[in-house]
Structure 1
Amino acid sequence: MSQFLQFLVTNVTSFLLQPSVLTILAFIFILLFKWYSILPNGNTKKNSPPSPPKLPIIGNLHQLGLQPHRSLQTLAQRHGPLMLLHFGSVPVLVVSSADAAQEIMKTRDLNFADRPKSGISEKLLYNYKDVASAPYGEYWRQMKSILVLHLLSNKRVQSFCSVRKEETFLMIDKIKESCSSSSVNLSEIFAKLTNDVVCRVALGKKYGEGEGRKKFKELLGEFAELLGAINVGDYIPSLAWLNRANGFDAKAEKVAKQLDDFLEGVIEEHINCQKKGDHDRGFTFSQENEDQKDFVDILLWIQEENVIGFPVDRDSIKALILDAFAAGTDTTYTVLEWTMTELIRHPEMMKKVQNEVREIAGNKKDITEDDLDKMHYLKAIIKETLRLHPPIPLLVPRKSIQDAKIHGYDIAAGTQVIINVWTIGKDPTLWDEPEEFQPESFLTSSIDFKGHDFQLIPFGAGRRGCPGISFAITTIELVMANLVRNFEWTLPDGAIGKDLDMTESTGLTIHRKFPLMAIATPYFG
């Protein structure tokens, strides 16, 4: 028996000491250690937010659907206003309440000021050299200071008053010319207006007129579409090859190249005008005449004079210009489209705002920006539109820099954070009859959309809040005031408001799926 035991011990020991066996045992030991560490009596237990069941590899990606803001609202109703999903291997915290949003964007704003990496932003936005997608850090701070101080300050916004006025009056004239024969496509009119305003403000003139207009418009549409697409490679790296197989990467590279060629041409045109001393065009760089220049002028001046003490290269200039188009065209046009949609659906509210605007305008043919401060009901209508139809229902994702605790839940560093402002705007604990369009509620409320009231944050808040709020809202108010002042509005073919199709589009910016067609009758009162 002793010989048998000696034989057994010798052979078992020899077996256990084999490298492959030792590797397997070590792996089992690590698994057991990790399992023990998450047991109730372990020292590193995490209190994670509630999570719906997930599938292997893709996690919860299959639950997003074609309209993620609605799908995430449904999930939040089951799992709570703080919910942890997994997009592939990436943890994603979905925030669906105002108090949790305030915790993220105000109380712990610094910890959630970073952006996750995105293959699309890397391709289209010059390797994250814009403000919206740049990682949190010194570069981002310097670029944002350029936007806030030199491009989107109140002084600069006011300096573009004549551009907004001219383009708005051109829009009114165009509607008057076409309304006598047929209905007008307001969606198309709004898209052209916002594009023309941003082109003149950012680039100095309208681009894409005539034969090239359609191509330029389509290019900007593809740009916005790509920015709103889900890149599977960002969440499941092993499936990144799908983007090459289905042509997604090729399309992104093509659009990036076409945009780069266009912006290079714009910058070279500005530089050549400067060299020629085109003073009529205003290309002499100086602090004194800064408010007479477009975005490209200012950016070239900052680069040449090293105004901020921080190098600004050509790619940074192009990335900031693209930020202006991404934030200033599609979102503004979307708010205009939904505002007119709601007014046509509610003729009694249309009549009320028309009376307000026409009374303030008096005998004046056109509304100017000096009149807007008195139009309280118009401002309430725009706020209510932003509540029901935020142009970007899911704010651009943030990323946690360090571990944090939010409302008692442990949030790991590197977690992406999506704030569902569409759901917050329909929270029945915050709003009476939240599905109804009721602008009157804002007439007696101090709630605003500038990032201080987290019940209404269509432009975000905190460090990552949109710096272009003033520019966008001034344009929206001026356009809407002139539309309701100059025309009576009805639907084609005798349709009434309740017949209006309210189906939403898909993508980053949510506008109408079908164009808004309406009949405009000039008002001569």
Structure 2
Amino acid sequence: MDLSVLLFLLFSFAVWASFALRSNSRPRNPSKLPLPPGPKPFPIIGNILELGPNPHHSLTKLSKTYGPLISLKLGTLTTVVASSPETARAVLQQYDHLCSNRSVPAAVHALDHHKFGLAPSPVNDRWRRLRKICKEQMFSVSRLDSSQELRREKLHQLMDYVQECSITGRALDIGREAFTTSLNLIFASLFSVDFAVLYGSDSSQEIKDMVWKNTEASGKPNLADYFPFLRPVDPQGLLRRKTLIYKKFFEIFDGIIGQRLQSRRASGGPMSKNDMLEALLDLNQKNESELSFNEINHLLLDLFIAGTDTSSTTIEWVMTELMSNPEKMVKVRNELLNVVGQNERVQEADISRIPYLQAVIKETFRLHPVVPFLLPHKATEDIEINGRVIPQNAQVLVNVYAIGRDANLWPEPDRFVPERFLEQEINYHGRHFELIPFGSGRRICPGLPLAHRMVHLVIASLIHNFDWKLEGEIQPGQIDMSEKFGLTLQKATPLKIIPLKLK
């Protein structure tokens, strides 16, 4: 919707809003402590115009002016943004018990996903039960170890396709093919079925477009979030868009679940399949009140979208940075040849023995965090940080993009320098707040262990087996690094590169 139309719509409600805001122009603040500093808000709309098309850039710039903890008035919504390791630690560790609930965007209310999904759920017994199911049935060390052969199979399919392209000289859209690999893997892990998505085909692109439209609708600034009275109107159509997307995914899931239930009935009991769906159906059959079919659908939706989008986006950014810095690519390949050898395949057990590749991936997470603000948190009580108050019900964002670009933390912060991580012990498992692309505390991404294995394995295999060149006459310094903002931060222009078989 055009900005002028949106502003007209806003001001057509100005009388109502002015009356509503008169009694609640500032958030409840019984402690009388001041809010964190921030830009002066305009009447009615507050600081909405400060966000711009790339809020991660805008809020990073504001943090340089107002400090590591800033406050914004987005319509009626008070938002506090933490942009330093210290303020992130306060939000995600010190006050984790008061900031673990979610500020749920209006668009996520599609098909009641805010009630049944894992990601938007408040911290309660149901949320703990779903987290436990995910950890035990999909992301535990024993589960991941037992599913290594499945990942090898999907990786071999990718390598076979890359080999074909190296023979024909065809360029790969690396983000799309990484997405296809993630898509095939997540389907096999959840359902023990191959989605039959072929490399180089349009079928994975259709699913990728659905996933992107979903994350865009979740992350895009939405007037319905800033002015709750607009929720029934859905002025930007984001709720309607997500509803259609969710319905398409649920149709896919319902078909697979129906086939599995039919097979279970035909066999007279549970199947021998060792996948997530079988575990969920076992729990459902024991006690449907503990896990309904509706909850299964919404949980599968969260796992599917997160499992396909984030890893493939990271893989594309890693390859983009390595193509922009060919000397780093050479270092990774030499390390792999020394550790793995020329004729052996890269295995998951090799990951711990390739520190330079680990550093490359950490440096990519620093520069290109897939979820630049993590998922929005919500303060359940007033919280004091450094003499300032985060008021109850405020939305709390952790700007990991700003932390990764902070010159006080990272010398030459805009340069791709993996070596910096060889000189200091920093990991991204939620304990070092300089690098928290997966979050921290009780809301840390449950899929981190799988993403860690998958990203390292795919990147290592691509570089170990092939050399790469850019499509056309593009030189390394000319690669388009622009971003496409949504809930996730994707590369705006796909990276297309041609594989060359190593001699």
Normalised by the length of structure 1, the TM-score is 0.86
Stretch of structure 1 that moved more, 140-149 or 514-523? 140-149
Q: 1:222 aligns with which of 213, 230, 237?
A: 213
The one-letter code matched in structure 1 to 2:92 is: M
The one-letter code matched in structure 2 to 1:65 is: G
Q: How does 1:319-330 map to 2 (within 5 A)?
A: 319-330=298-309
Is 1:304 aligned with 2:285?
yes
Compute the displacement of 1:320 (Å). 1.1
Is 1:170 aligned with 2:157?
yes
Compute the displacement of 1:256 (Å). 2.5
What residue in structure 2 maps to residue 243 of structure 1? 234
1:252-298, CA deviations, whole angstroms, 9 ceiling, x for partnerless residues? 3322222222221121112112222299xx814xxxxxxx5221111
Distance 2:239 2:474 in 1: 44
What residue in structure 1 maps to residue 195 of structure 2? 207
What residue in structure 2 maps to residue 51 of structure 1? 38
Stretch of structure 1 that moved more, 350-359 or 205-214? 205-214
What residue in structure 1 maps to residue 457 of structure 2? 478
1:62-119, CA deviations, whole angstroms, 9 ceiling, x for partnerless residues? 1111111100011111111100111110111011010010011011100101112332
Q: Report if aligned partners of 1:331, 1:509 keep a CA contact under 8 Å in 2.
A: yes
What residue in structure 2 maps to residue 443 of structure 1? 422
CA shift in 2, pair 1:124/1:510, >3 Å: farther
CA shift in 2, pair 1:452/1:213, >3 Å: closer
What residue in structure 1 maps to residue 176 of structure 2? 188
CA shift in 2, pair 1:44/1:160, >3 Å: closer
The alignment-based identity, stated in percent, is 32
Stretch of structure 1 that moved more, 44-53 or 262-271? 44-53
Q: 2:222 aligns with which of 224, 231, 244?
A: 231
Is 1:378 aligned with 2:364?
no
Q: Report if aligned partners of 1:126, 1:315 keep a CA contact under 8 Å in 2.
A: no
Stretch of structure 1 that moved more, 250-259 or 187-196? 250-259
Larger Rg: 1
Distance 1:408 1:127 in 2: 33
Compute the displacement of 1:136 (Å). 1.9
1:285-333, CA deviations, whole angstroms, 9 ceiling, x for partnerless residues? xxxxxxx522111111122234xx9711111111111111222111101
Q: Report if aligned partners of 2:117, 2:295 keep a CA contact under 8 Å in 1.
A: yes
Report the 3-state secondary structure (helix = DSSP H, G, I; strand = E; otherwise coil) of the residue aligned with 1:276: helix
1:128-161, CA deviations, whole angstroms, 9 ceiling, x for partnerless residues? 3122100122221121111122221111122221
What residue in structure 2 maps to residue 264 of structure 1? 254
Stretch of structure 1 that moved more, 68-77 or 171-180? 171-180
Q: Report if aligned partners of 2:92, 2:440 keep a CA contact under 8 Å in 1.
A: yes
Distance 2:438 2:401 in 1: 12
Distance 1:397 1:249 in 2: 18
Q: Report if aligned partners of 1:208, 1:216 keep a CA contact under 8 Å in 2.
A: no
Q: Report if aligned partners of 2:165, 2:498 keep a CA contact under 8 Å in 1.
A: no
What residue in structure 1 maps to residue 400 of structure 2? 421
Stretch of structure 1 that moved more, 116-125 or 461-470? 116-125
Q: Report if aligned partners of 2:54, 2:485 keep a CA contact under 8 Å in 1.
A: yes
CA shift in 2, pair 1:213/1:75, >3 Å: closer
Q: Report if aligned partners of 2:316, 2:495 keep a CA contact under 8 Å in 1.
A: yes
The one-letter code matched in structure 1 to 2:71 is: L
CA shift in 2, pair 1:184/1:90, >3 Å: same
CA shift in 2, pair 1:437/1:277, >3 Å: same
Distance 1:163 1:444 in 2: 35
Q: How does 1:289-438 map to 2 (within 5 A)?
A: 293-306=274-287, 311-438=290-417
Unaligned 5+ runs, structure 1: 1-30, 285-291
Q: Report if aligned partners of 2:169, 2:498 keep a CA contact under 8 Å in 1.
A: no
Report the 3-state secondary structure (helix = DSSP H, G, I; strand = E; otherwise coil) of the residue aligned with 1:358: helix
CA shift in 2, pair 1:450/1:243, >3 Å: same
1:330-350, CA deviations, whole angstroms, 9 ceiling, x for partnerless residues? 110111001011111111111
The one-letter code matched in structure 1 to 2:429 is: K
Q: 1:254 aligns with which of 220, 244, 251?
A: 244
1:497-516, CA deviations, whole angstroms, 9 ceiling, x for partnerless residues? 11111111121111210110
Normalised by the length of structure 2, the TM-score is 0.89
What residue in structure 1 maps to residue 11 of structure 2? none
Q: Report if aligned partners of 1:229, 1:507 keep a CA contact under 8 Å in 2.
A: yes
Distance 1:492 1:117 in 2: 41
Distance 2:333 2:63 in 1: 39
Compute the displacement of 1:44 (Å). 5.7
What residue in structure 2 maps to residue 134 of structure 1? 121
Q: Detail structure 1 runs of 4+ shifted over 6 Å in the superposition.
A: none
Q: How does 1:13-28 map to 2 (within 5 A)?
A: none
Stretch of structure 1 that moved more, 359-368 or 77-86? 359-368
Distance 2:341 2:239 in 1: 55
Distance 2:204 2:319 in 1: 25
The one-letter code matched in structure 2 to 1:237 is: P
Distance 2:212 2:367 in 1: 24
Compute the displacement of 1:413 (Å). 0.9
CA shift in 2, pair 1:171/1:53, >3 Å: same
Q: Report if aligned partners of 2:174, 2:316 keep a CA contact under 8 Å in 1.
A: yes
The one-letter code matched in structure 1 to 2:484 is: S
Q: Report if aligned partners of 2:191, 2:277 keep a CA contact under 8 Å in 1.
A: yes
Q: 2:186 aligns with which of 198, 214, 217?
A: 198
What residue in structure 1 maps to residue 266 of structure 2? 276
Q: Report if aligned partners of 1:125, 1:319 keep a CA contact under 8 Å in 2.
A: no
1:194-247, CA deviations, whole angstroms, 9 ceiling, x for partnerless residues? 111111111222326478655444433333332223332122023335525x54
CA shift in 2, pair 1:366/1:220, >3 Å: same
Q: 2:74 aligns with which of 87, 90, 93?
A: 87
Is 1:522 aligned with 2:497?
no
Report the 3-state secondary structure (helix = DSSP H, G, I; strand = E; otherwise coil) of the residue aligned with 2:472: helix
Q: Report if aligned partners of 1:96, 1:419 keep a CA contact under 8 Å in 2.
A: yes
Stretch of structure 1 that moved more, 472-481 or 121-130? 121-130
Q: Report if aligned partners of 1:208, 1:217 keep a CA contact under 8 Å in 2.
A: no
Distance 1:342 1:411 in 2: 37
Distance 2:134 2:57 in 1: 33
RMSD of aligned alpha carbons:
2.4
CA shift in 2, pair 1:145/1:273, >3 Å: same
